[in-house]
């Protein structure tokens, strides 16, 4: 008990540590309580954070600050318009069509497995096949209406969506334009001596920011390449499968394996057990291999140094807390935690050294 009491006194007697913990807890509480209410502001802040990297890159290349800011912001608007006008409509249509075709797809796979059971009766029984697909059918029956309900809710809330479509870019504009003034205003509420907080903030901006930006670029590149490939091989649901393939890179280790199933299912339903189906699966695997062995190392290299188990744990924890956004930002948030721990350890070590020398 004395050991715990001594650690508590030693740790929380340091004003820098107390300030860091207070700021972190305050941010967590604010997001937890007011997250839904200020979701557009949080989204705009995240987008501005992601766009800040390209602006700094243009500045380092010699562009004037205003030219760099306007170039990146206009590029963001153009990409957003392309997504809204060219990607979202066919994507929604293909999602609905995919849900309608899913029972037939599952039935074709079930038929194939039953025929396999006739050839290999000792490998799998007919009762097992029917039990598996009864469970799968129930899951599909539950998921389908939920997705359709979500789409219907999106249509009914079209006014809110339109407001957000205008509001978020406007907030992004001012977050980027007045970044220095906003940061100075926030700094007025913090103590002048905040070296530990500044150290953590600097590392988070560098490592987590670079990772998040790199991950967005990776999603866009993989999704675009996948769409071109899927269109070339003429597989159905090319837009839906391309979006799924792009988003598969969000979850390391598992995303690629999970998306293999819908690609193989769609290909088999369309072509059957033919060379075209095998070619579609091979094309998907080649895309994932190029991403894992070429694109991802090129984008990230040494940006994030975390153990694979730490990454998996971060995805489970933050995904459980904040859903898809938590999954996407799991590794940046893990980087934040890592930066806090390392800064804390360094400060503790420095204090011990100073005490010993004294």
Q: What are phi and psi of 237, to 5 degrees?
A: 55, 40
Rg of the chain's alpha carbons, rounded to an integer? 25
In-domain check, residue 203: yes
What is the model's pLDDT at position 155? 47
In-domain check, residue 339: yes
What's the distance, Cα to Cα, between the start and end of the chain in Å? Answer: 27
pLDDT of 177 strictly over 50: yes
How does the average pLDDT of the chain come out, rounded?
Answer: 78
pLDDT of 326 strictly over 80: no
In-domain check, residue 357: yes
In-domain check, residue 118: no
- Which tens digit of pLDDT belongs to each residue from 58-97? 998 888 989 999 999 999 999 888 888 888 888 888 888 8
In-domain check, residue 55: no
190, 280, 292: which is closest to 242 by C-alpha? 280
Mean pLDDT of the region 9-36: 74
Residue predicted with more confidence, 323 or 126: 323
In-domain check, residue 356: yes
- Which tens digit of pLDDT belongs to each residue from 262-310? 899 899 888 988 899 999 999 999 999 898 888 877 776 555 556 667 7
CA distance 156 to 158: 6
In-domain check, residue 72: no
276 is in which domain, residue-wise? Answer: 194-358
CA distance 237 to 28: 39
- Structurally, the chain folds into a number of domains equal to 1
Q: How confident is the model at residue 204 (pLDDT cuts 50, 70, 90)?
A: confident
In-domain check, residue 96: no
- Which tens digit of pLDDT belongs to each residue from 235-264? 999 999 999 999 888 776 678 888 898 899
Q: What is the dihedral of CA 264, 266, 271, 274, to 10 degrees?
A: 0
């Amino acid at each position: 008990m004395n050991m715990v009491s001594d650690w508590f006194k030693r740790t929380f007697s340091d004003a820098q540590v107390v300030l860091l913990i207070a700021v972190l807890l305050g941010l967590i509480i604010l997001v937890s309580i007011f997250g839904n209410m200020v979701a557009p502001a949080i989204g705009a802040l995240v987008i501005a954070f992601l766009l800040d990297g390209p602006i700094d890159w243009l500045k380092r290349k010699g562009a004037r600050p205003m030219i760099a800011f306007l170039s990146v912001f206009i590029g963001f608007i153009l990409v957003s318009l392309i997504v809204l006008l060219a990607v979202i409509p066919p994507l929604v249509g293909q999602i609905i069509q995919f849900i309608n075709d899913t029972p037939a797809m599952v039935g074709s796979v079930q038929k194939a497995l039953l025929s396999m059971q006739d050839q290999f009766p000792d490998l799998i029984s007919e009762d097992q096949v029917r039990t598996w697909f009864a469970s799968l059918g129930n899951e599909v029956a539950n998921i389908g209406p939920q997705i359709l309900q979500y789409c219907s809710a999106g249509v009914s809330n079209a006014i809110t969506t339109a407001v957000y479509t205008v509001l978020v870019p406007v907030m992004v504009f001012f977050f980027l334009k007045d970044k220095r003034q906003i940061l100075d205003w926030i700094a007025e509420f913090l103590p002048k001596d905040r070296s530990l907080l500044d150290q953590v903030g600097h590392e988070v901006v560098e490592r987590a920011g670079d990772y998040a930006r790199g991950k967005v670029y990776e999603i866009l590149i993989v999704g675009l390449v996948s769409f071109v490939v899927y269109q070339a091989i003429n597989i159905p649901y090319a837009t839906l499968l391309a979006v799924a393939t792009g988003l598969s890179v969000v979850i390391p280790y598992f995303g690629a394996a999970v998306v293999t199933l819908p690609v193989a299912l769609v290909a088999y339903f369309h072509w059957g057990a033919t060379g075209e189906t095998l070619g579609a699966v091979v094309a998907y695997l080649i895309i994932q291999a190029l991403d894992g062995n070429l694109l991802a190392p090129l984008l990230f290299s040494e940006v994030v140094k975390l153990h694979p188990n730490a990454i998996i744990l971060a995805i489970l924890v933050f995904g459980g807390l904040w859903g898809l956004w938590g999954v996407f930002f799991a590794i940046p948030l893990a980087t934040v935690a890592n930066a806090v721990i390392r800064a804390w350890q360094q400060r503790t070590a420095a204090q011990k050294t100073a005490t010993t020398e004294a």
